[in-house]
Chain A
């Protein structure tokens, strides 16, 4: 180009009389470039390609995330924590050294139901005394205390011993009758309105109507939590926050099941999971896929894979095609015949089914994804060369008869030099066009295979295997951001190659008027 300009300058110096005499001389290459840039579609294609290359190769470097980096998120799950029931059944506490079996309990219930104050069983007579609301004591005729029946429940304070029968009896009696002190086992106790039983200054237990049962093994319910819960139940709140002893704060939701008359308390627990199919956000502009990987980064790396595979495959095709086509076209005769028959055979082999079969076989052999990618390129390249070989041969057949080839022969130039220095360069324009278009179709083939799950495999991304997520119809309908961008990238890239290829074809054509 610079030489061109120098020549131009020289010519200008020689002839530059005035401006209208000045003739602008362009080399064939410059003419091609000029024609190419006049073609709006070709320029558009070039821009598309530059954008996609930048996206794939520079984008992968710039982005802070890795290709297979998985992201996590915390989801909140409501887990059944405890069930709370208001106790409406009579419960029994048996005095020390006495017996009050189930049969007697049943007899008592009968008497209780009828409102009688005594019942007989096996010749013995039992006396029922109503000590207060929902508190009964059962004693023998002679006044020996057998048991008490109650609805309010006496619980031991956390870490304290279970209160004795006497204490229970005394506490309940005092509590239901609204008294604030009682004496049991020769000691003084006090009961407050909340049902706290204390001996001196230490709280030994508490009285409550609610039964709190953990829904899961290994859950111990503290007094503190119970009170918090009762408070919530009393004020009819649906939700409360409680911080347990370990300082972990959780939200609890209360729901009431009217038919079973049970409150169930659900604890909201945080679980750390893969952030799958996250909606697009600032952190992940295109969301995440089903492995919790960032979609945008996967797209960039997928682009790399698709483009690199495209280039390598086309390079393999071109090398084999040019060598065989060149030999065939130059030598003719039986060499040409042999190579062209091979080309015919390859042309006839249905490539897509063969690649699918090989892909399925590699699935069976569990080939490592990286080696698999290599095989894929080799197979695609090996099946694609006949077209280029035919093109090169055809061109060379016609070029061979031209005068400049006779001249090379007359000069005694080596055969290989004649083929590769003088014939092949003349084929290059067509070759470039075919290769550019071939890049597009190779990328589509690779994407199709990856889409079918027979090409590039996880953990490597390729635009095809990103789209293959739509095989799950829920993903197809709900998570458009997972597969549509990949398809658009694919379309833009292939379209870019086709536009540029088409533009080059026109630009290389010397018959072009523009």
Chain B
């Protein structure tokens, strides 16, 4: 087991190396809009140097005049030492900006994951046990509707209904207008109320796939021989489903949920951007659009690490929770 984990981690590092190399090359090959914009701004000041001179100077100071491979090696060295550089867009160290925004993203992700589990698992099981019934049709159809809902459209509808028409929530941001005047409790509640719509959006658009996954797995388990055996023994239907079938359904669920845990830190790029929630997704969006290379590199590598970690966790969990699975 330990050998397997060590092997997988080494392998993940190998993949990470290539992923970051590809991303770095890609970003460097693109026109670095940030530096160009800066150069235009600086050169338009009276008595300033010309645009090309500024461009050269800025490129040199940001290390963009080096060949891509050299730049990548030095970036990798810094990255390995935990030195992520300074964000150009936010003019603070990348790690500082990251620390200030990751909390919101994590809270949002965690709450919506819990809600998803609470909604998806029971409904998925109901749909599977009553296959082809009316409730199965309704659950399956609504799961597909959830999957098919474009995030931005759903979020806009929510905003129109709950923010504009009913006026329950603000449309944008994490704090209200009078945030500074509130006491600690009030500030907390204010933040909570601003997170309601984003969390609802996140939950609704991603609950569908989990529901379908639960249903499919439950159906598979219900067709298994041991369930027939359990029924043949004369167990009550409730016992068959909730003791024998449900526990076995949990196996793939645990692996998938375990695998999605690192994803809680990756933020919700679209949802955060739509609601202007200053989480890692929104901040990265701003950085990416502005051409902020250090922050973008950090964010993309971070996401890659999270993906690898998720895969690793789900593979390990699979072996841990299912004794039938042997890891070679």
Which residues of A come within 8 Å of B, CB atoms? Answer: 40-41, 341, 344-345, 347-350, 352-354, 356-358, 360-361, 364-365, 440, 444, 447-448, 451-452, 464, 467, 470, 473, 476-477, 480, 483-484, 487, 490-491, 494-495, 497-499, 502, 511, 514
Contact = CB atoms under 8 A, between A and B. Distances in A.
Nearest to A470: B156
Contacts of A476: 156, 159-160, 164
B280 to A, nearest CB: 11
B152 A448 contact: yes
Interface stretch (B19-27, B185-193, B231-239, B318-326): B19-27
Nearest to B159: A476
Given A41-B137, A345-B18, A350-B303, A356 B285 contact: yes
For A364, A467, A473, A490, the residue with the greatest tally of chain B CB atoms inside 10 Å of its CB is: A364
Contact of A41 (B141, B156, B300): B141
Nearest to B219: A511
Interface in B287-326: 288-289, 291, 296, 299-300, 303-304, 307-308
B33 to A, nearest CB: 5
9 contacts: A345-B22, A349-B23, A361-B33, A467-B156, A476-B156, A476-B160, A483-B156, A494-B150, A497-B148
Contacts of B22: 345, 349
A502 B139 CA distance: 13
Contacts of A356: 269, 285, 288-289
B80 interface: no
Contacts of A484: 157
Q: 3 tightest CB-CB pairs across the interface, nearest first?
A: A487-B153, A494-B148, A361-B30
Nearest to A478: B164
Interface SS of A by simple majority: helix
A360 B300 contact: no
B223 interface: yes
Contacts of A352: 269-270
Given A350-B300, A476-B164, A498 B147 contact: yes
For B36, B141, B284, B299, the residue with the greatest tally of chain A CB atoms inside 10 Å of its CB is: B141
A353 B160 contact: no
Interface in B118-166: 132, 137, 140-141, 144-145, 147-153, 156-157, 159-160, 164
Nearest to B165: A477
A499 B137 CA distance: 11
Given A345-B22, A350-B303, A40 B137 contact: yes
Contacts of B151: 448
Interface of B: 15-16, 18-19, 22-23, 26-27, 30-31, 33, 36, 132, 137, 140-141, 144-145, 147-153, 156-157, 159-160, 164, 171, 223, 269-270, 273, 284-285, 288-289, 291, 296, 299-300, 303-304, 307-308
Contact of B15 (A348, A480, A495): A348
A451 B304 CA distance: 25
B236 to A, nearest CB: 24
Contacts of A511: 223
A344 B307 CA distance: 11
Contacts of B156: 467, 470, 476, 483, 487
A357 B141 contact: no
B289 A360 contact: yes
Nearest to A440: B148
Contacts of A499: 141, 144
A498 B150 contact: no
Nearest to B151: A448
A514 B132 CA distance: 10
Nearest to A498: B144
Contacts of A491: 145, 148-150, 153
A484 B154 CA distance: 10
Contact of B33 (A360, A477, A483, A514): A360
Given A348-B16, A356-B285, A448-B270, A364 B33 contact: yes
A451 to B, nearest CB: 5
Contacts of A490: 150, 153
B288 A349 contact: no
A347 B30 CA distance: 22
Contacts of B270: 352, 448, 452
Contact of A347 (B27, B171, B269, B307): B307
B33 A498 contact: no
A365 B137 contact: no
A456 to B, nearest CB: 14
B24 to A, nearest CB: 12
Contacts of B137: 40-41
B307 A348 contact: yes
Given A349-B23, A476-B160, A514-B132, 6 more contacts: A41-B140, A341-B15, A352-B269, A354-B23, A452-B152, A490-B153
A350 B18 CA distance: 13
Contact of B140 (A349, A483, A502): A502
B22 to A, nearest CB: 6
Contact of A477 (B19, B160, B299, B307): B160
Contacts of A494: 148, 150
A487 B157 contact: yes
A348 B152 contact: no
Contacts of B288: 353, 356-357, 360
Contacts of B159: 476
Contacts of B150: 444, 447-448, 451, 464, 487, 490-491, 494
B148 A498 contact: yes
Contact of A350 (B33, B144, B307): B307
A447 B149 CA distance: 11
B27 A357 contact: yes
Contacts of A487: 150, 153, 156-157
A495 B144 contact: yes
B217 to A, nearest CB: 14
A364 B37 CA distance: 10
A467 B23 contact: no
A487 B156 CA distance: 10
Given A467-B156, A487-B157, A490-B150, A353 B132 contact: no
Given A365-B31, A451-B152, A499-B144, A353 B171 contact: no
B15 A345 contact: yes
A440 B209 CA distance: 14
Contacts of A440: 147-148
A479 to B, nearest CB: 11
A348 B149 CA distance: 25
A484 B33 CA distance: 34
A504 B291 CA distance: 43
Contacts of B141: 41, 499
